[in-house]
């Protein structure tokens, strides 16, 4: 049995962990969990980690949850220096920023937008009024600001850090896809869109999608 096991929830953030492992050429087993009728992770994941969320990476006696922590562990412990700039460099500081920006800033308004989209469906009239106010007062401006930041930062760059993908690109792939596909902002972000096309064209990314199942941003 491979030393690594990914506990993968379909249509989830764990898709980017599969991309990372495929880029590194690391052997891994995968256990796939279907979502419940409500779109949530099944209770069986709690038997692997108390949070019951995905991705979870098992490596011998080590069991890790939380995407950023899992990506850092893989790159620090298993990658032989690949896909991570040397510590103490400006490139590493950029890398660290995007590792944390992905979940710490970018995902927050996207989650708010997702939750209020559920309210629209549950309470159509009142839900629409409330969701529109939240989107207009907070959510859309935050998503637009984050996309604008990355759009500007990609000027003259193919990847967020250096000449090849790093863990920063792995972490940012999901929130950027969610922002473009579910943001409904009505304006173009051409550098971000081209960047996502470069990610999707990578053979390792395509292998991850083939192995992990159809990729879809919940919404």
Domain CATH number, residue 157: 1.20.1050.10
In the chain, the number of structural domains is 2
pLDDT at 10: 85
pTM given for the model:
0.89
Q: Are residues 146 and 111 in the same domain?
A: yes
pLDDT at 187: 77
Region 37-64 average pLDDT: 88
The Cα–Cα gap between 189 and 177 comes to: 12
Judgement on whether residues 100 and 192 belong to the same structural domain of the protein? yes
Calculate the CA 34 to chain-centre distance. 18
One domain for residues 27 and 43: yes
Residue 217 lies in a domain: no
**Residue 113's pLDDT is what?**
79
Is the same domain home to 100 and 196?
yes
In a domain, 212, yes or no: no
Percent of the chain having pLDDT more than 70? Answer: 84
Q: Domain holding 53: CATH number?
A: 3.40.30.10
**For the chain, what is the mean pLDDT?**
88
Q: Is residue 170 part of a domain?
A: yes
- Domain annotation covers residue 71: yes
Q: Are residues 141 and 57 both part of a single domain?
A: no
Cα end-to-end distance, the chain, whole Å: 36
- Predicted confidence (pLDDT) per residue in 124-154, tens digit: 765 666 666 766 667 888 899 999 999 999 9
Does 176 score more than 80 pLDDT? Answer: yes
213 within a domain of the structure (yes/no): no
Examine residue 172 and state whether it is found in any structural domain, yes or no.
yes
Asked which of 38, 53, 83 is the last residue of a domain, the reply is: 83
Same domain, 79 and 19: yes
The pLDDT of residue 106: 93
**Quick one: pLDDT at residue 37?**
80
If asked whether residues 50 and 69 sit together in one domain, one would say yes
71 lies in the same domain as 110? no
The last residue of one of the domains, among 26, 59, 83, is 83
Q: Taking residues 57-85, what's their average pLDDT?
A: 95
Residues above pLDDT 90, as percent of the chain: 59
- As a whole number of angstroms, the distance between CA 100 and CA 98 comes to 5
Whether residues 103 and 197 share a domain: the answer is: yes
pLDDT of 218 strictly over 80: no
Q: Are residues 51 and 141 in the same domain?
A: no
The predicted structure's pLDDT at residue 120:
65
Residues spanned by the domain of 133: 90-202
Poorest-pLDDT segment among 62-66, 126-130, 169-173: 126-130
Question: Across residues 22-32, what is the average pLDDT?
Answer: 95
């Amino acid at each position: 049995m491979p030393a690594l096991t990914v506990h993968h929830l379909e249509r989830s953030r764990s898709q980017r962990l599969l991309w990372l492992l495929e880029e590194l050429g690391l052997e891994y087993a995968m256990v796939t969990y279907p979502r419940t009728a409500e779109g949530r992770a099944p209770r069986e994941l709690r038997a692997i980690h108390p949070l019951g969320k995905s991705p979870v990476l098992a490596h011998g006696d080590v069991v890790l949850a939380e995407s950023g922590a899992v990506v850092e562990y893989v790159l620090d412990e298993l990658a032989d220096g690949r896909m991570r700039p040397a510590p103490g460099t400006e490139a590493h500081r950029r890398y660290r920023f995007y590792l944390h920006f992905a979940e710490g800033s970018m995902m927050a308004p996207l989650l708010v937008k997702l939750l209020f989209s559920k309210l629209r469906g549950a309470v159509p009239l009142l839900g629409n009024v409330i969701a529109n106010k939240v989107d207009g007062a907070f959510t859309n401006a935050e998503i637009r600001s984050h996309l604008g930041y990355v759009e500007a930062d990609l000027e003259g760059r193919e990847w967020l850090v250096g000449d090849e993908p790093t863990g920063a690109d792995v972490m940012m792939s999901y929130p950027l896809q969610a922002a473009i596909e579910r943001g409904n902002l009505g304006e173009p972000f051409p550098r971000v869109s081209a960047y996502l096309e470069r990610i999707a064209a990578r053979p390792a990314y395509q292998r991850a999608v083939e192995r992990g199942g159809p990729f879809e941003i919940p919404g």
